[in-house]
Amino acid sequence: MSGIALPVGLISEGKRRRRWPVLVVFAIAWLSLMLGIALLADVIAPYAYTALDLRNRLAPPGATMLHPLGTDELGRDVLSRLIFSIRMSLLIAFGATIIGALIGTSLGVLAAHFRGLVEQVVLALVDFSASLPFLILALAVLAFFGNSLTLFICLLGLHAWERYARIARGLVISAGAQGYAAAVRQLGASPWRVYGRHVLPNIASTLIVSMTLAFPEIILLESGLSFLGLGVQPPETSLGSMVGYGREYLTRAPWILLSPAAVIVLTTFSVSVLGDWLRDRLDPTLS
Amino acid sequence: MTGTPLLEATGLTRRYAMRRGLFGRPVEVRAVDGVSLSLEQGRTLGLVGESGCGKSTTGRLVLGLERPDAGSVAFEGRPMPGPGTPAWRALRARMQMVFQDPLGALDRRMTIGAQVAEPLEIHGIGDRDGRVARLLGDVGLRPDQAGRYPHELSGGQRQRAVLARALATDPAVLVCDEPISALDVSIQAQVMNLLVELQARLGTAILFVSHDLRAVRQVSHRVAVMYLGRIVEEGEPDAVLHDPAHPYAQALVSAIPHPGRRQRRILLQGDPPNPADRPSGCAFHPRCPAAVALCAREDPVLKPRPGDGRHVACHVAQGDAPAPSDGRSAARRGGPDRPAEAMRAA
Amino acid sequence: MLRFFGFRLLRAAITIVMVVSFAFVVLRLSGDPAQIIMGADAPPEAIAAFRRAWGLEEPLWLQYFHYFGAILSGDLGRSMRDGRDAIALVVERIPATLALTVPALLIKLGLGIPAGITAALHRNSFIDRAVMMLAVAGFTVPSFVLGLLLVLVFAVQLGWLPSGGQESWRHAILPIVTMGVGGAAVLARFTRSAMLEVLGQPYIRTASAKGVPWRAVVWGHALPNAAIPTVTIIGFMVGSLIAGAVVVESVFSWPGVGRLLVVAVANRDLAVVQCILLLVAATMVTANLVVDLLYGALDPRLRQRTA
Ligand SMILES: Nc1ncnc2c1ncn2[C@@H]1O[C@H](COP(=O)(O)OP(=O)(O)OP(=O)(O)O)[C@@H](O)[C@H]1O
Ligand code: SF4
Ligand SMILES: [Mg+2]
């Protein structure tokens, strides 16, 4: 799967004059809101996400002042669950994105540094990841290992690692071939210095842009797996598992799934917009 | 030229595997094929030759940046340690490279000052601020330019920054790989003067790689002409560049426009050399205007020529074979005609 | 050319070996299959019998060999739940999945590619913006959300179509649309950027500057070149025909391979999961191989780079 990026034209073209395109402002505002909610979940959630209110089951939004977004089958407050789900989904997406970037970049740098056998092994691993849709691979691992939050995050962290590996390898090789890296190496610098002080800072912007492209994909994967009941396990809740749970009540109480679904869509949309905008500004070479 | 050389390279050979096309098996390219040279303190060896003849590769081998497939480099009488080893890294303080492309050789995310200070940090040399300021002054950069980023400097200023960085540890050997070809003419002169001046002051041994014969002449104490991975002629710049003995060197020299001398440009026929497919005998024979039958059979060796002792690898110039009858200057020995002044002025 | 074929085949074979090894390693790492299948409180005799039956007492490398041999001979084990041949279980689900994925693929190609080309040729026009808006939506709306929204509208509110199951062709419409629309959006985006990239190349500009009619430039130069990157993503789509419907099948309770996989994962029915894994890998590797070979035919530069 190639990077999923928004069309450049949608965001920047025709709006060149303005420094901050409307969509970008919206994306930043929305993501800040999501981050704020995730950080302050304990404070702002009106109820615990497991708290039952058996007198108000399946209450539609606005029906009682107690539950502005309604309640589910067990009378749990949808708003509170939504807040905690946002926290969970963001935690997973951040964790997994960082893990993927770390693993992928390290392997890519190793491949470029040692070349030869190491590089062939890394490339074979890249082939391997490309040979399986990640969803299938993830499902297989979950079947074999069972599920826990840590495992789940690490598993999603494997998503897109090969993209970082490929990018890092290419950039390191080209940096090392003619340019500044070769120059610093022949000054007598150790590999640590060459990579740590020169190469990584130079390729960081490209890698960060790749992270903003992988982040929404991970949110989608997480919610997809959780929707299937194979991701985040009850009593924990995430955006995807809320949708999966709400699906049972699609006819009677669609509000249970509509609000988490909207949050998923808006969040992935915002990160994509932001990533695309960053890419335009930081790294015109990344297509 | 006295004493033992500072750096001595013998029989350097470097092969690269290259695949031609989809069906081809890898062919071996001998980028450098048995090159010997020596660098002495305070002296400059100029290395000239057409593109792809192996000049840069020779420069890298001489500095030990790559391991030769055959041959060896000795620095101060000791063999060159393998690239990347701690001993090799420590030795970098003594030998430095100035790259052709100054913008590419600098880290665009670091200030000039920080980059000039970097070799000092790497080799644990103290008084960095003072030294950086002095180095920048030496290469003619203003102190306030230490805070600039590479893209904020002009091409000539960047090349000076690269030079300052290369000189930071007072290296004994400096390899300049086409240090001026990316610059415009007025700046070329500045950078070259700077090199000459610094060498006079610090006693650095320089290998000056270029295909600009005039530049080579201006800075070098000796000149070596390379063709297809080998040195074909070597000697004093005045001699080699005004009265070349090797037909290839003659063609090179004739290609420089000389105001004040009637142009007689020797045009090389045939294809430019392909290092993967080295002709038999003298590698130059398919293009050589002076070639004789012997040339296709036997490989001429680089040796002092009878008479003036010029080092040249050519049967005809050596007098081992008669010159062809059209009387081309191939075998002419020590001709007196040297418009040195005209050439300097050019 | 032979060399290129050989190289590609070798890479494909290595990938398959890696997938099989991965399955084996993961299978062994995941704990004692006997315990998992029989349950922790099964009587020790039963566990011992199970271990013997499954060859779990041999040394690991021997197990690995047997495992490979078994897979090569098409023996992918039995479903640990109902004892049926895993491969038979999977194969009988394939037609149902193909009934969704093949029409969906046709929709993707039929909508996505023309939309992408049109958008690229009329850059910044209304059409371009509309296509790109849809493409963005297609990416940011996950298929389960889209599917459920379609159910909500067309099944629950309007009552036009059934919400799930596999009784008639009408049951297939919503899942096919769900998959096709999302995929078409991705493909449109991809085609558009491939086209734009090609249209910006100097040779295209030269051709049109030399007075070659624009139509000829587009058909003669731009499209063939833009096809090269687009083929990759199509290859990926073809490769996921068999298991590309995991989520959608679950949304619409469609009894295909994807649904089987989800149930097998939930039940930890390892033989079935592994069988699907290998099958998917084999299709994917084959599709990639075909794409690569097509590339080799389309673009001689690539042969050089990889050889
Ligand atoms: N890393 C490499 N891999 C393969 N071939 C190489 C490599 N480096 C150099 N070569 C080949 O070796 C030959 C000599 O290259 P080199 O860069 O030394 O030439 P040069 O004389 O410096 O040319 P120029 O004047 O263009 O810089 C060329 O044919 C080149 O293609
Ligand atoms: S040896 Fe022969 S071919 Fe070679 S340079 Fe001399 S004359 Fe020319
Ligand atoms: Mg060179």
C102 and C237 within one domain? yes
pLDDT on residue B336: 36
Kindly state the average pLDDT of the residues C44-55. Answer: 74
Confidence of residue A206 (pLDDT cuts 50, 70, 90): confident
pLDDT on residue B81: 92
For B185-238, the pLDDT digits (tens) are 777 887 788 888 889 888 899 999 988 888 888 889 999 999 999 999 999 988
Count of Cβ atoms closer than 10 Å to residue A235 Cβ: 7
Q: Is residue C307 part of a domain?
A: no
pTM of the model: 0.74
Q: Is residue C137 part of a domain?
A: yes
For A68-98, the pLDDT digits (tens) are 777 777 778 888 888 888 988 888 888 999 9
For C263-297, the pLDDT digits (tens) are 888 877 777 888 888 888 888 888 888 877 777 66
Q: Which of C78, C112, C145 is the last residue of a domain?
A: C78
Count of Cβ atoms closer than 10 Å to residue A42 Cβ: 10
Q: CB contact, 8 Å: C300 with chain B? A: yes
Q: Chain B contacts of A182, Cβ < 8 Å?
A: 105
Q: CB contact, 8 Å: C298 with chain A? A: no
CB B69 within 8 A of CB B15: yes
For residue B32, the ligand 1 atom closest to its alpha carbon is 14
pLDDT on residue A210: 81
Nearest residue to A212 via CA among A172, A259, A164, A169? A164
C145 and C224 within one domain? yes
pLDDT on residue C40: 63
- Site from C136, C252, C280 to mutate, A interface, most A CB atoms within 10 angstroms: C136
For B100-112, the pLDDT digits (tens) are 788 888 888 888 9
Least confident of B80-89, C79-88, C103-112: C79-88
Confidence of residue B35 (pLDDT cuts 50, 70, 90): very high
Where along chain B do the CATH 3.40.50.300 domains lie?
Answer: 1-18+25-94+171-242
In this structure, which residue's CA is closest to atom 28 in ligand 1?
B52
- Site from A115, A172, A184, A187 to mutate, B interface, most B CB atoms within 10 angstroms: A187
Number of domain units in chain C: 2
Confidence of residue C217 (pLDDT cuts 50, 70, 90): confident
A36 CA to centre of ligand 2 in angstroms: 80
C199 and C158 within one domain? yes
CB C97 within 8 A of CB C256: yes
CB contact under 8 A, B97 and A184: no
CATH of the domain at C276: 1.10.3720.10
User: CATH assignment of A92-234+263-286?
Assistant: 1.10.3720.10
Q: CB contact, 8 Å: B21 with chain C? A: yes
CB B223 within 8 A of CB B45: yes
Q: Is residue C44 part of a domain?
A: yes
For residue B60, the ligand 1 atom closest to its alpha carbon is 18
C48 and C126 within one domain? no
C242 and C135 within one domain? yes
**Distance in Å, alpha carbon of A180 to nearest chain B alpha carbon:** 4
Check whether C91 has a pLDDT greater than 90.
no
> What percent of chain B has pLDDT above 90?
29
Mutate which of B252, B287, B292, B329 for ligand 2 pocket (most atoms within 8 A of beta carbon): B292
Which tops the pLDDT comparison, C95 or B259?
C95
Q: Which residues pair with B32 in a beta bridge?
A: B14
pLDDT on residue C218: 78
C11 and C109 within one domain? no
C137 and C282 within one domain? yes
Check whether C306 has a pLDDT greater than 50.
no
Q: Which of C51, C78, C105 is the last residue of a domain?
A: C78
C207 and C149 within one domain? yes
CATH architecture, domain B1-18+25-94+171-242: 3-Layer(aba) Sandwich (3.40)
Kindly state the average pLDDT of the residues C16-33. Answer: 76
C98 and C60 within one domain? no
pLDDT on residue B262: 55
Which tops the pLDDT comparison, C196 or A164?
A164
CB contact under 8 A, C15 and A272: no
Check whether A218 has a pLDDT greater than 80.
yes
Q: Please, which residues 209-228 of chain A have a Cβ atom closer than 8 Å to chain C?
A: 216, 220, 223-224, 227-228
Kindly state the average pLDDT of the residues A207-236. Answer: 82
- Site from C1, C2, C3 to mutate, B interface, most B CB atoms within 10 angstroms: C3
Confidence of residue A107 (pLDDT cuts 50, 70, 90): very high
Mutate which of B14, B29, B99 for ligand 1 pocket (most atoms within 8 A of beta carbon): B29
**Rounded CA gap, A226 and A221, in Å?**
8
Least confident of A99-113, A209-223, B11-25, B210-224: B11-25
CB contact under 8 A, B21 and C3: no
pLDDT on residue C235: 78
**Rounded CA gap, C151 and C172, in Å?**
12
* Residue C189: domain span: 94-302
Q: Is residue C206 part of a domain?
A: yes
Q: Please, which residues 109-128 of chain C have a Cβ atom closer than 8 Å to chain A?
A: 123-124, 128
C125 and C56 within one domain? no
Check whether A256 has a pLDDT greater than 90.
no
Ligand 2: residues whose CB is within 6 Å? B 246-247, 282, 284-285, 288, 290-291, 295, 300, 314-316, 330
C154 and C209 within one domain? yes
Q: Chain B contacts of A179, Cβ < 8 Å?
A: 101, 104-105
